[in-house]
Chains A and B, each alone.
Chain A
């Protein structure tokens, strides 16, 4: 698997950004585009006004969006350049000869007949052991031994899970591993991100209280190590959330809190807007970048298409889960920087390290509409072009008027 890790490092260094089919020239502002349109049409225009050709700029931008846009691309599975023998990665089965079909058939047999059952057995054993051990550690009195054993049990649980997914993880820059009493932020592709990161050191997780199997695991986790689980009603109350996070982070002996500021899963070709909540708290932030090699299996959880169990089965029936984790050096909020700017700075560093596109769109767009404010911004920019011309024309007329009537003082 050293070959696989070498491949990841190579591709992360190359341009591994969003695959765009349009060749876009340097992005110009609305003003610059309009100037170009107009200057080619009217070179010596003293009376600028609305030009019938102005609509062409918006028209072309619109059609370019239809062909290829950033947001839709981030919420659908990545495109592969060459097939990896998984029918889920392509639209139609490529009928390119008997040999390919046979290879694919063999792949299906191996994946569903050998790999999947083994992985499921491992996963079930791991969760079972974890729940039992964690609960028993919880019975010990509150002491250093309990803390130590708690960590060990957690790590064991995560290692079992990682083995069950056959995840090959490479951790880079381990000297920047998050320290106690801080916050760790990472980009979010799948709920399994937690397992990938927690394989290396223990984190305190933040999340909603669930019912069923997940709820059972959550309760078992809390017994041996401090996590922050919210009731559904509490999530709405931002101050309460912020207070609990603050209290936890202030205690320097507690494990770092793991937060995903995007708020939703994105398909690992880009990083969406970071929500400012976790950056307002004011303690050290350790950014961590995760990049999956999607040739071995797509790790993105498209929650509108399939549920969690289906997603887990998909991952377990892929070839493997190969990823790279980069620990970035810690960042603090600087003087005169507000939470939003700080969040942008962290996001830019994270995107640059992992080779992802840095987008300013909100991850919430997966489910909601775009606000009208964006359209109004475009309208405002365009109106400025027209209105500044109006202003300059009226000023010119005023000036000419003054010149025509000589001042009586001089006669």
Chain B
């Protein structure tokens, strides 16, 4: 069932989404309980833009398509949104909010704080972040670039963990 075939269902959902960007409180209740709900919404909007149009919405959701069985066709376009690289790029941009191509210590701390909230102390938070950077940072510049990020996730099964299937 191709993405575009489902497009008519999205019309209503998508209206709720692009209007919500201006509101601090979410209209989708289940997204409110997600610790990184705000970042996910921000990921849909390109920088400096306040409104989302339907093609951009679909383009973002394309990251979550399962990788096609017809490998030879995909190989011709390695930069497809739903390729492994595309999915990794989406996850990378959840961390890298200022889009400078690197995840700095501050950015990592921000994500950790969002995911853990008040459940851990500041000390524990810093030590977790420190260890994560030490393990992933190969060239020693104190930040994680996209290639280092890819390397640290090389064993994670992105193809299955980051896809959403539709009912036929």
Using CB atoms and an 8 Å cutoff, list the residues of chain A in contact with chain B: 20-23, 36-37, 40-42, 49-72, 76, 91, 361, 365, 369-370, 374-380, 382-383, 386-387, 390
Contacts and interface: CB of A to CB of B under 8 A. Distances in A.
Residue of B25, B27, B119, B157 with highest tally of chain A CB at under 10 A:
B119
A80 to B, nearest CB: 13
Given A67-B164, A72-B16, A62 B36 contact: yes
Contacts, number: 162
A386 B40 contact: no
Residue of A23, A58, A61, A66 with highest tally of chain B CB at under 10 A:
A66
B25 A387 contact: no
B33 A370 contact: yes
Interface in B64-105: 64, 90-91, 94-95
Given A52-B136, A380-B119, 10 more contacts: A22-B167, A55-B94, A56-B156, A63-B61, A66-B17, A66-B28, A69-B29, A369-B25, A374-B33, A375-B35
Query: What are the 8 tightest A-B residue pairs by CB atom distance, in nearest-first order?
Result: A374-B33, A379-B117, A383-B119, A62-B40, A65-B30, A370-B32, A71-B29, A41-B155
Contacts of B144: 52
Interface of B: 6, 8-13, 16-17, 25-37, 40, 61, 64, 90-91, 94-95, 111-112, 115-120, 124, 128-129, 131-132, 135-136, 144, 149, 152-153, 155-158, 161-167
What's the dominant secondary structure at chain B's contact region?
helix
Given A52-B136, A72-B16, A375 B165 contact: no
A41 B112 contact: no
Contact of B164 (A63, A369, A383): A63
Contact of A55 (B8, B91, B164): B91
Contacts of B95: 52, 55
B11 A91 contact: yes
Contact of B153 (A53, A59, A365, A379): A53
14 contacts: A50-B131, A54-B115, A56-B156, A56-B161, A58-B36, A59-B91, A62-B36, A63-B64, A65-B34, A66-B13, A91-B11, A365-B29, A374-B32, A386-B116
A387 B156 CA distance: 22
Contact of A375 (B61, B94, B117): B117
Contacts of A61: 34
B166 A21 contact: yes
